[in-house]
Chain A
Amino acid sequence: MRPTLSLIRREFAAYFLSPIAYLVIAVFLAVMGHRFYLTMEQLTASGPRGVSYPMQFMVSDLLFWLVFMFIPPLLTMRLFAEERSSGTLEMLLTAPLRDWQIVFAKFVACFGFYILMWLPTLLYLPVLLDWQWGTTQCGIDPWPVATTYLGLALAGAMFLALGILVSSLVTSQLLAALLAFFVGLLFIVPGNWRPEVDTHSVLDQVLFYIAVPTHFKQNFGRGLIDARQLALYGSVAILSLFLTVRSLESRRWR
């Protein structure tokens, strides 16, 4: 277990050694800050304007998903591709670690950084929840906020796992990022592009099933947890990590 923890620590620390990570966080927070500003405007508006679910409003915008799509590839592109291109992967594979431990450690470190990236957005909560400091109570239902963060964590895990898988298959970081971006598109595009299909057809159900932005608009953003989304995010993440392990393993017998 200790080597795994060491590897997690090493991988996690590596993010902070590069100014790129800070730049990514800064850009991400700039976008989130803008969304927060718009949400705050709606929450303090006069007349018949407003938002029903502040967190839903924040994360259901196309701009948010455009930025979100770049984050997992940027965080995962270097994980294996860099090791492979610099030749350190062989060293890592000879370390007293099993392949799954390597994949697990890299995933945990990457996921940790992803969660860390979201942590500053907790500063928005007093406004998003209409937190009353005097009574220590919320004026706005906190559950939609909680479910949105849960959804973001799970969806993030899925996209990161996909990114790790792609990174394990190629040598170039840029190619890894591009491929991860396009794989991610499969789950994002149906949320913003819906062909004219019968609202009750199987195709419509499948499109909804994989459309991550729609999941946030319809469910997580409004305080709902849908078992379908848990199944999708969980199964795809586990499958991707499993395939990553197999991908690493293949170097031994190819």
Chain B
Amino acid sequence: MSADLPTVAPEVWTWLAIGAVALTTFLTRCSFILLGDRVRLPPIVDQALRCAPAGILAAIVIPDLLLTHGKLHLAVDNFRLMAALVASGYFVLTRSMLGTILVGMAAFLLLRWGIG
């Protein structure tokens, strides 16, 4: 993987990546300010931007929870998955971000130190 990269310190690549992410923040949040008054958001695009985030976030969050070392691990000893399920249940009941994080981490740490 690093064979085709030029011989630059890894640190530089990290800062480049940070800059890239900052650029996406700027481009998206300032998009319509930059585009000026005459550009309007077509309803189709608006609709797409509204319902896409569900799929996007699922792609980012879920597969990592279901897999351990690259293999599907749908078992009680997948502590991260178990903690996520507990946290999800809590969130559905309370809608509290703070509580969800605390409950989920408590479940995770209890499982890890109690059993694992």
Indicate whether A and B interact. no
Chain B interface residues (CB < 8 Å from chain A): none
